[in-house]
Each structure stands twice: as C-alpha cells, then as structure tokens.
Structure 1
Amino acid sequence: MTAEGQIIGLVCSGAASLAGGWWFIRRFAQARHLLDTPTSKIRSAAQGYAEFYGVLVASEQPALLGPLTQTSCLWWRYKIEEYKSNGKNRSWRVLESGSSDAWLQLQDSTGNCLIDPRGAEVRPATRQVWQGNQRHPLGSAKSAWAALFSAGKRYRYTEERLHVGQPLYAIGDFRSHGGGRQAFDLNAAKGEVIRQWKGDFAGLLQRFDHDGNGQLDEQEWQRVQVAAGLEAEQRRREQSLQPVQHRLGKPAERQPFILSCAGEDELVRRFYWQAAGGALLCMIGALAFAWLLGVERF
C-alpha cells in the first residue's frame, strides 16, 4: 500500500469511527429520553419537557395542499431529485426540498394542544415516492419502470404528509398560556408597561407631566410607577379570564423534539437498532484504523 493510500484510508476509517460513535450516542440518548419521560394528559401536564399521545385534528387555519400532489393535509414535506449517471457513478441529486411550518393541533381525552413543528423530527405515516421525466410532476404518478423508459431526464419525487385523524406521538417543550396559569412577576410586568409607555414619550408626558415643563420630576415619576403597577395588574386579570391554550415546541436544551405517527415503543426499537448500527460502524472504523496503522510502508 502506498503512503498516500494509507493516509486516505486512515482519514476515511477515522471519520467512519467518529461518525458511528456520534450516531450511537445520539440515538441511544434519544431512546433513553423517550423511555424516561412519562406520557401525560394535556390538561394536567406539568410545564416543561413532556410527552403526549393523541389524534391530529383540524385547526382554525386553512388546510394545506401538498406541493407535489395537491392533496389536502395538515403538514407536508417534499423532495425532488434528479438522476445523474457518469460512467460507473450513478446517484440521485437533490434539486428541491422543503416542509411546511403551519401549526398542528393534537387532541387527547382531556383537551387540545397546538404544536409548532419547526425544528421537529417529523415521522409521518403517509409517504409517496414516484418518478417522472419533468422537473415538477404533472398528472398521475409514474412507476419507476415507466419512468425508466421515458424520454428525457429522470426525476424522483417524494412527498410526506400528516392528515386529520392520524395518531400522533409528540414529545417536546410544553407551555400553557392564559387561565392565570403563568407565574406573575409584578416588577417585570410593571417594567414592560413602562417600556411600552416610553415608546410614546409625548403621550407619557401628556398624562403625567402636570407642571408642563417637558420633564418628569421625582413625584411625577412615582405616579408613573403606581399607574404602571395598576395597569400590569389589570392585564394579568384580563389574561386570567382567557381560556387556557397549550403549546408544544422545540426544547431550548438538546432534548428530542419528535412528532411521529408511530408510537413510543416502535420509535425506541428503531433508535436502539440505529444506535447498534452506529456502534458497529464505530467498531469497524476503529479496527480498520488500527490495521492501517500497522501496515508496513514499502
């Protein structure tokens, strides 16, 4: 083996070992997070990292249409790939991809929860894959064999969707708003009111500058503080009368944020198998690296 070939082999095997180790740690940790987080009911869930299981229902937002099939849905993700062949090198190259960011609504036996899907690992039950000879699909989907013998370039289309009535397992950061459930910090709320009033300083002077000198003296500023405290209390009372709204989103920490039509048990099995694959890749890469280090240079 040449020195150049040995160096390339060392780099590739080392990278494979590191990637496999990282994948093992990531998937194993995610599986443990799912197992260690108890399933909660929406109405009684504690604030913070939580896990739910329910059914997707229609929200007040208009229904979406899948960009490739024009099928009505609640969420979509798509990908358009082009087939490339250069001698022995054959591959699919991604031309376009994207996903919707409209909020979802999950319902269980105790209530509803809005879900912001941005940043989530979404695993939908509905997935369509087909091929064609145009950049954007038109008409009915072609099978892979029909597309193979069509003239022109080959494209592969993938569209995944979430629909009303599908089961959904969701784990992420849970927060409730309204109904007086939030902790109330009077000083912080009063400071926010004053900052808003300062945005219209002319209006602030008109209300509290009683001597008309264009400034707020100490006595007038005390009146501002008292009025701001009363305004903050009034806003809290109005907010407490609003119905409770539950929301689920991406956690601030590196905890899994997963939306899946498959249940927790199936997800955990998949993650453990993927972790095992990562561990195997790490081991093979490490053994190859050690073997290459021991190869004599000629």
Structure 2
Amino acid sequence: MSELLLDVRNLCTRFYTDSGVLHAVEDVSFTLRAGQTMGLVGESGSGKSVTGFSILGLIDQPGRIVSGEVLFKGQDITKLSKKQLRHLQGNRIAMVFQDPMMTLNPVLRISEQMIEALQAHEKISYADARQRARDVLGATGVPSPESRLDAYPHQLSGGMRQRVALAIAMLNKPDLIIADEPTTALDVSIQSQILAEVQGLVKATNMALIWITHDLSVVAGIADTLSVMYAGRIVETGHVGAVLDQPRHPYTAGLIGSLPGNAEPGTRLQQIPGLAPNMFHPPKGCAFAARCGSATDACQVQPEFTGTEDHRYRCFHPVTLNSNMQELRP
C-alpha cells in the first residue's frame, strides 16, 4: 500500500461576515495516499472548493479554519507560519483553478510566469528553467511548446490556457494537486483530452490528485475514491464504484438520478426537491432532511458515519437504489 500523504481530520472552516457566521465546512475528514485520485463532488455552495482552499492554506479573512487538522506527510498545515506555507504552496501542493486567468498574469509571457514559479522554490538557471517549462508544456498536451512560451495568455484558447495552468502546477513535481473544476468551462472534446492527460501524468509521477467537481461523469472516469459533500459535510464516501453503483445517501442517489443518461427516453428528468439550506443558519440534525422523502424525527440528530471501510454514509434511512451507472464509467 502506498504512503499516506494527506490526512484531513474534523476540518471546520467558517467565514465571519457582517451578515453572520457562514458555516462553510463542517467536520470534514478523509485520507489520501500517493498515486491516488479522489473525487470531491457536490452542488454549488456545498463547501468543496473551500475544503480545497483550506488544505492549501488559502483561507483569508473574514474566513478561518476554526478546528481540525490537515496533516500533510504527518505535518499539520494549519499550524504553519505564512513563510512555511509558501514553501508548500505551488511546490509540494499545487492547485489548478476553474478559471486559468486566476493563475496566469495577463501582462507576462508564459515563459516568465513558469520560470518565476520554478525559481521561487529552487536554485535553477534561466536556461534550465526554460527547458523544464518547455518539457512540462509538452507533457500536458500543449503543441509547439517552444513558441507557446513566448505567448501571452490572451493569445491562447481557453483549453490551451488551462493546459498551461496545469503545466505550472506540475512544474515543481508536487506530491499533491488540487484541481478545482478546471474543465467546467471547456467543451466536451477538450475536456476529455485534458482528463486523459491528467490521468497519464498521475500514473507517471505517482502524485495524488483531488478533483473537485459537480460532474459525476468526470470523476467516474478518473477517481479511485469519491466523497459527496452537502451543506459543508461529506455525506457519503468510498470506492468510486461502490458509491456510484450502490448509493446509500438520498442526496447521492438524487444526483445520480438527475443525470440525463439515467432517464428513459421521453420521460422527465428526476430532480431533488427544495433548495440547499442557508449555511448562515445551518439546520439541526441532517441538513438534507427538509428535501428528503424518508426523513423522520430521528433525522433531527446529526447522523454519524455508518457502513463499511470501503463505503460509508451519514444517513438513518439509507436508500437501496440499484443504479446502473455503466454508461458513466468507461
């Protein structure tokens, strides 16, 4: 079994605003080993992106991590100084954002940005840094990498900019990459190309990957494990095949049931009734109870995880849906 790389324990992140306290992440725990890919799935506002930012130490005021631990190779990141964090950020842990323009400086050539990212973490000559930048661009599927180094971000297509952002994340050969919906804005053909390139890089380098998305079909093809978030908590987690083939939490089953590929031709798509709760005023007990047809008085208490080591869920009334998800997974 590969090395335990990341161990997140009871992570809680909140934002203290003029409107009140936003409970963004509540009691999130999971582990990740070297070479493993974890999918983190949930609708907008579920807390999945804030979880990624918390792991990397990117939570700024008015937000802060109020409790829990983020152990990276046994070291608690939440206890590090800003200087110590900078040594990890972009070096041992890197992030790819949904919008590559959050990563790329529009007024600097690609070469300047990549060389600067290298020289910030190691002593390397300009020529060697440029050579490595060119090699990594080629590895991420950028054609004619030498000429692309001299381009500005606005001269590249959206798909090409996202490949460059991925290349910058890969530059320092990190142990962990957190990808926050990096292919959402791209068309399907470009998305599939980038996913294939990411899979190849993970296998070749043995790095760990957290892929944050709302698209189950994406994680079905690349993830080893899957965690489903709702209202700041992980409500179901386990091996990707177990979660997709036999979802036990009603929310997970609802997400799977709402996929167009699972509906009979000519029938209406399933949908999850109601709206996600206001996390300025989180409900007591199970946050999904107001939208769940199986909720009872027992759901007024927050359910703990139950199930097996390979498939756990927070629910007093787990569903027994047998969902055939073969069309999701290649």
Query: What range describes the TM-score normalised by the shorter chain of this pair?
Result: under 0.3
> Is the strand fraction higher in 1 or 2?
1
- TM-score normalised by structure 2 residue count: 0.20
Which of the pair has more CA radius of gyration?
A: 1
Higher relative contact order (CA 8 A, sep 6+): 1
If the length of structure 1 is used for normalisation, what is the TM-score?
0.22
